[in-house]
């Protein structure tokens, strides 16, 4: 029998894993976002997008201020004025304007600390604490959950992708728990893309359930990514159907939360998939 995971408190929301698939809406503030949806410092557009996503069924909004597309030069870990300039005003407005928790997408402890002070209630670390272990201490001190992603851009593996992902995530979990993050406040993400080949990404999707051995909820983020574009030969803004297919497969293989740009159709796919896989109900 599959182990029942403890609920995770995020702000005023409790994620009760196993009852449904939760949807994380993506808000990119970096102007050079890979999918062309960067909002920059347009606060009104950011608030409007977040409201729309919540109306469409998003359970949480993830705000990021640095592009992570392949080929970009990372912002210095100690010089993040531009990132803060984008995310802090946005988070301050969003926590006052929307009813769901706000997540900060960053791998820098300095940005994470400021974002939590502004009202964010979850840290989404695309480097799984490898770049800045201090993120774990920030999360522990604030009592917020953290998402750890397996990122292979620093050393793309040629073979054994599942073993590498499991090893990286286990190392991140160890850092987080030793820093004082409660075990129930850690979510894992296989990191589709991020240094992995097409075949490795497809293998991870097929073997996603193996991440359950870590004893953590699983976040799946495939929205508009190049894996879908390569298979379907389509640009980022035409990859919706491919991502909906991947979302359903991911739920069947154990995903507990999905991170997406297109909330409304994803929510419908999640509801239908949950009705079959979790033996829930579709509703009226």
Domain encompassing residue 164: 19-277
| Residue 259 annotated as catalytic | yes
Residue 148 three-state SS:
strand
- Tokens found for residue 164: 């590498």
Catalytic residue among 114, 164, 225, 239: 225
Catalytic residue among 108, 259, 271, 279: 259
Whether 26 is in a domain gets the answer: yes
| Residue 9 annotated as catalytic | no
Whether 66 is in a domain gets the answer: yes
Whether 283 is in a domain gets the answer: no
Decide if pLDDT at 266 tops 80.
yes
Whether 14 is in a domain gets the answer: no
Would you place residue 178 in the very low, low, confident or very high pLDDT band (cuts 50, 70, 90)? very high
Whether 256 is in a domain gets the answer: yes
The count of domains in the chain is 1
Whether 93 is in a domain gets the answer: yes
Residue-wise pLDDT tens digits, 33-82 = 544 455 777 899 999 999 999 999 999 999 999 866 555 555 555 568 88
Whether 1 is in a domain gets the answer: no
pLDDT reported for residue 36: 47
Residue-wise pLDDT tens digits, 104-129 = 999 999 999 999 999 999 999 999 99
Average pLDDT over residues 126-144: 98
Contact 159, 117 (CB under 8 A): no
Q: Which residues pair with 219 in a beta bridge?
A: 257
Average pLDDT over residues 147-172: 95
Give the residue among 189, 157, 197, 159 at the shortest CA–CA distance from 172. Answer: 189
Whether 284 is in a domain gets the answer: no
CATH number at residue 129: 3.20.20.20
Element (H, E) at 57: none
d(CA 117, CA 204): 35
Mean of the per-residue pLDDT values of the chain: 92
């Amino acid at each position: 029998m599959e182990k029942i995971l403890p609920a995770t408190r995020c702000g005023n929301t409790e994620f009760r894993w196993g009852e449904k698939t939760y949807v994380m809406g993506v808000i990119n503030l970096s102007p050079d976002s890979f999918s062309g949806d960067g909002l920059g410092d347009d606060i009104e557009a950011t608030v409007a997008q977040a409201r729309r996503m919540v109306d469409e069924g998003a359970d949480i909004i993830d705000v990021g201020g640095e592009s992570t597309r392949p080929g970009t030069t990372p912002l210095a870990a100690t010089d993040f004025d531009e990132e803060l300039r984008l995310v802090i005003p946005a988070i301050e407005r969003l926590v006052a304007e929307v009813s769901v928790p706000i997540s900060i997408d960053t791998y820098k402890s300095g940005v994470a600390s400021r974002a939590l002070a502004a009202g964010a209630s979850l840290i989404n670390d695309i480097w799984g604490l490898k770049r800045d272990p201090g993120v774990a201490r920030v999360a522990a001190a604030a009592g917020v959950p953290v998402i750890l992603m397996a990122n292979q851009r620093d050393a793309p593996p040629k073979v054994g992708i599942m073993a590498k992902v499991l090893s990286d995530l286990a190392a991140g979990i160890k850092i987080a728990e030793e820093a004082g993050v409660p075990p129930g406040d850690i979510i894992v993400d296989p990191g589709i893309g991020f240094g992995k080949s097409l075949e490795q990404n497809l293998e991870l999707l097929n073997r996603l359930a193996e991440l359950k051995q870590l004893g953590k909820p699983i976040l799946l983020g495939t929205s508009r990514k190049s894996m879908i574009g390569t298979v379907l030969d389509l640009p980022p803004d035409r990859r919706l159907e491919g991502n909906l297919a991947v979302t359903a497969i991911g739920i069947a293989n154990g995903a507990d939360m999905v991170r997406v740009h297109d909330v409304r159709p994803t929510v419908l796919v999640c509801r239908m998939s949950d009705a079959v896989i979790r033996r829930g109900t579709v509703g009226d």
